[in-house]
Each structure stands twice: as C-alpha cells, then as structure tokens.
Amino acid sequence: MADDARNNTKGTFRSYTAVGDSFTEGVGDPGPDGTLLGWADRLAVLLAERRADGEAPGDFRYANLAVRGRLLDQIVAEQVPRAVELAPDLVTFCAGGNDILRPGGDPDAVAERFEAAVTDLTAAVGTVLVCTGFDTRGVPVLRHLRGKIATYTAHVRAIADRHGCPVLDLWSLRSVQDRRAWSEDRLHLSPEGHTRVALRAAQVLGMPVPTDPDEPWPPQSQRLPSEVRRENIQWAREYLMPWIGRRLRGESSGDDRAPKRPDLLPLR
C-alpha cells in the first residue's frame, strides 16, 4: 500500500491524517457552529470528492491530530506515533513554526528533528506532504524573523527532496501576502487564506481545483492613516500583548487541548 500511495499523483487517496499545530488545526477559520475548519479540513473535502468520482465512492476517511501551540518535539511525541498507527494513505506534516518563533529557536537544529520525524513517517505512510514556512515580510509581529523562517524553509525543501515528499510551498504562495488572507490576530489565516492553502495543497497532490489559489484579490480602497493606527492599537491590545504574556509565562493556547478528530472517520 505504501509504495502505491507514494506514486499517487491523481489525489485519489483513501485516507488522510493531518499532523501539526494551530495552522493545521484551523485556527482563524471557524465554521457555522464555531468548530474550527481550516485548510486541512478543506483539503479533506476535496480529497473525498475526488475519491467519490472514482471506483469506491464514500469510503474516504480523515483524521486531524493537530493542536494549537504545539512545539515540534510535542508533535513528534504525541501525533507522529498516532499517525503511524493509523497508517493512512496520506499524511500532511506541518511543524516547527512555533519553535522558530521562540527566542533562541535554531532553524538548523529544528530541521534535524523534523527530518527524523519525516523518516519515521515515510517508512509507514504512502505519501507524506510537508509544508514550508510563510514569507512573513508583511506580518508586523513576525517580520523580524523572516531570515530564520527562510532558513527553515530551505531545510524543509531539502528534506523533502531527500525523502521524496511533495512540498506545500507556502513561501511562494503570493496570495497569502495580502492582509485579507490573515485573521484579526494577524498570526493565523482567515477562512479565505485557509481556502487558498487547501487549493494549493490539492494542486501539489495532482488534483484539478475549481479556482487558482494565487488568483489576485479584488482591489481595495485605501484606508486613512488614522484608521490604520486605531486598528494597530486595538490589535496590539487584544492579540499581541496576550500572546507575549503567554510566551513570558511559558504557557500555550493549546494547553490541555485534545485533537479535534483523533480517529480516521468518514466525512459527514
């Protein structure tokens, strides 16, 4: 099964497990009932629809093990063994971003541990899709970390080459450079941002998609400098200061949280 799935270029997977942190959990993309969706859930829907067009409709299964705030070592300890146990056709593995954001986060050291996890996953799973970092030049609180994120992104691409993994290259996805691709906290994607990432992931897996994920955004009217200042002050008070406070206290927004979808189950 593993070899067949590794050679799959049509997106006709029977099962999919998402591994990662808040990005993969879907923070910033609440559904109608408040439950988080996110790019991984949206990708699962595309994969299920693609499967339904094949010979065995309705048998697609999906698990999402991601939990917000998780560092790479936590993801490797908590989620990777479960993904190996589930043995799906496809795993998306996006991790290490929270390590890079922390003071002293060394992208070279993080990449070494990331590759060890990729080695474990590729030995047990047909296809392992890995994710690069975003280009953060337009993200105020993360702009100064752009060099570290670029270094980690280069490592991820090299690791993917060595292990034959498809790459969800978020650095080159120009559409997420727009402010509208990000939620109010400016740290997580908006629903439209998550949608564009899901479409790009589907493309990477060889699937046709209904719209181009890099389609330009509609023109937007220019805001007054006073409006921008008020928005920045409100953002700092509501999101930036609590985020810094959690870092100083060694707390995580994901403390005591469990994965939202720990088992491979059919999509409703």
The pLDDT tens digits for 99-150 are 998 888 899 999 999 999 999 999 999 899 999 999 988 776 778 899 999 9
Checking DSSP bridges between strand 127-131 and strand 167-168, what pairing results, if any? parallel
For residue 123, the model assigns a pLDDT of 95
Beta-bridge mates of residue 64: 18, 261
For residue 255, the model assigns a pLDDT of 72
What strands, in cross-sheet order, belong to the sheet with 127-131?
Answer: 167-168, 127-131, 90-94, 15-20, 61-64, 261-266
What is the set of domains in the chain, with CATH numbers?
A: 2-222+257-266 (3.40.50.1110)
Let me know the angle formed at the C-alpha of 8 by 6 and 11, rounded to the nearest 5 degrees: 125
For residue 5, the model assigns a pLDDT of 38
For residue 56, the model assigns a pLDDT of 53
For residue 125, the model assigns a pLDDT of 92
Other C-beta atoms closer than 10 Å to the C-beta of 87 total 15
CB of 22 closer than 8 Å to CB of 71: no
The pLDDT tens digits for 153-197 are 999 999 999 999 999 999 999 999 998 999 888 789 999 999 999
**Core vs surface per residue 49-64: b (16+ CB within 10 A) or e:** ebbeeeeeeeebbbbb
